[in-house]
Amino acid sequence: MNRLFKDSPALILIDFQKAFEDEAFWGGSRNNPNAEANAKHLLEHWRANHLPLYHIQHISVNPDAKHGANSPGHAFMDIFQPLPGETIVQKSVNSAFIGTDLKEQLDSKGIRTLVIAGLTTDHCVSTTTRMAGNLGYETFIVADATATFGKTGINGQHYDGEMMHQTALAQLNGEFATVVYTQQVIDSLAHKANF
């Protein structure tokens, strides 16, 4: 089997928050209903292997917004509640690197490889992935552990969540990151020779 990782990878879980459970609010036609289950599978493997992981939490500058500090939507989904000692990085924009100390935390631990999963593919996941690639991290985005919603284009045409997801991944793959799938990552983690 080809090894995915040259060194010990960090898992970056982006915005698995209750706000995204309101599908209609975000545009409907969400794709990949198994994204959370796959991301949870990754999280369990990271925990079992004592690998570095980071929970990214979006806190809107508007405290009453869906992700605002006053809204129940800012809370992590139940299956992604961080355990004591796990790192939470709070952001207020699309990138987990802007206005946070994520880069400093990664660099201080010598982490150069990132595995990214989360919501939504074409917003915070994409922006964080692009920045990770530009900052020189070896970056992997997990296609089946990310998801997004439908969008209406400038001409009024509606693009469903699956199209938005696939086009976002196509733009990232081979330039900012390598697109992979949950089982590939798990299989690679099982080969301790990677680390």
Asked, for residue 1, whether it belongs to a domain, the answer is: no
Instruction: Give CB contacts under 8 A, 24+ apart, made by 176-179.
Output: 176/129, 176/130, 176/132, 176/133, 176/134, 176/139, 177/116, 177/129, 177/132, 177/133, 177/139, 177/140, 177/141, 178/4, 178/139, 178/140, 178/141, 179/140, 179/141, 179/143
Q: Is residue 164 part of a domain?
A: yes
Q: Does residue 2 form part of some domain?
A: no
Contacts of 102 (CB under 8 A, 6+ apart): 54, 56, 89, 96
Q: What CATH number did the domain enclosing 93 receive?
A: 3.40.50.850
Q: Does 169 reside within a domain?
A: yes
pLDDT at 193: 46
Q: Quick one: pLDDT band at residue 22, thresholds 50, 70, 90? A: confident
Identify the domain containing residue 82 by its residue range.
10-189
Distance from C-alpha of 167 to C-alpha of 165, rounded to nearest angstrom: 6
Beta bridge partners of 55: 13, 88
Number of domains in the chain: 1
Q: What is the pLDDT of residues 9-18, one digit of tens each?
A: 999 999 999 9
Q: Is 83 a domain residue? A: yes
Per-residue pLDDT tens over the stretch 29-87: 899 999 999 999 999 999 999 999 999 999 999 888 888 899 999 999 999 999 999 99
Evaluate whether residue 143 is within a structural domain: yes
173 in any annotated domain: yes
Specify if 80 maps to a domain.
yes
Q: What pTM was computed for the model? A: 0.95
